Amino acid sequence: MQRYIRYGAVTLLLLIFQTTIVPFTSIANIIPDVLLVWIVYVAVKLGQIPATVLGFTVGLLMDLISGQFIGLSALSKTVAGFLAGYFYNENKIDYTIGTHQFLTIVGLSSLFHNIIYFVIFVQGSEIGFWAAILRFGIFSTVYTTAIAILPVFAFSRKLA
């Protein structure tokens, strides 16, 4: 129970960090998704169901904070948490987080998250399907995966 309270506190801190400080790190209006890295971390650490629930909760909170498209972040982060949960292996938690495997999981989850999010988000605008995926989805995936190097470094030192 104490672990879930700690994870809830970290989630709230990262939510505040994502909405206040991270927008200042934008490159061509693309910002990394720190919360998605956290969802993948929880998926690798605890499994598919906690990551799916966390993805929905974090996504719904992001939707309520932004007020743009209620339910879209909840859907895309739920799918990302569910997908990342497939890589859960109880015997290789620290190894997975401390190696390139974590970056691969973040990259795949972020790609699916961004495809779902941006394809639905740009409906009705002049931006087309492929432009949304290439302009926003791919670059956001690369930026989010680059941010995921930080936990990899932290856990790789723990392995050594």
Q: What is the pLDDT of residues 90-114, one digit of tens each?
A: 898 888 888 889 999 999 999 999 9
Q: Which two tokens stand for residue 145?
A: 């995966």
Q: Residue 103: enclosing H or E segment and its boundaries?
A: helix 100-121
159 has pLDDT over 70: no
Q: Cα dihedral sign for 31, 77, 110, 128?
A: negative
- Whether 54 and 42 have beta carbons less than 8 Å apart is answered as yes
Residue 8's domain comprises: 2-159
16 has pLDDT over 90: yes
Largest CA distance in the chain: 51
Closest CA to 121 of 141, 142, 105, 135: 135
Q: What is the mean pLDDT of residues 114-128?
A: 84
CATH code of the domain covering residue 16? 1.10.1760.20
- What share of the chain has pLDDT > 90, as a percent? 64
Task: Give me the number of domains the chain comprises.
Answer: 1
| Pick from 5-9, 128-132, 156-160: least confident | 156-160
Cβ neighbourhood burial of 74 (10 Å; 0-12, 13-18, 19+): buried
Distance set, CA 83 to CA 79, 150, 158 (Å): 6, 21, 26
Backbone angles phi, psi at 88, to 5 degrees: -70, 130
* Angstrom distance (rounded) from CA 42 to CA 106: 11
Is the pTM value of this prediction over 0.75?
yes
- pLDDT for res 107: 95
At 23-67, the pLDDT tens digits run 999 988 889 999 999 999 999 999 999 999 999 999 999 999 988
- pLDDT for res 122: 82
Q: Which two tokens stand for residue 16?
A: 């505040």
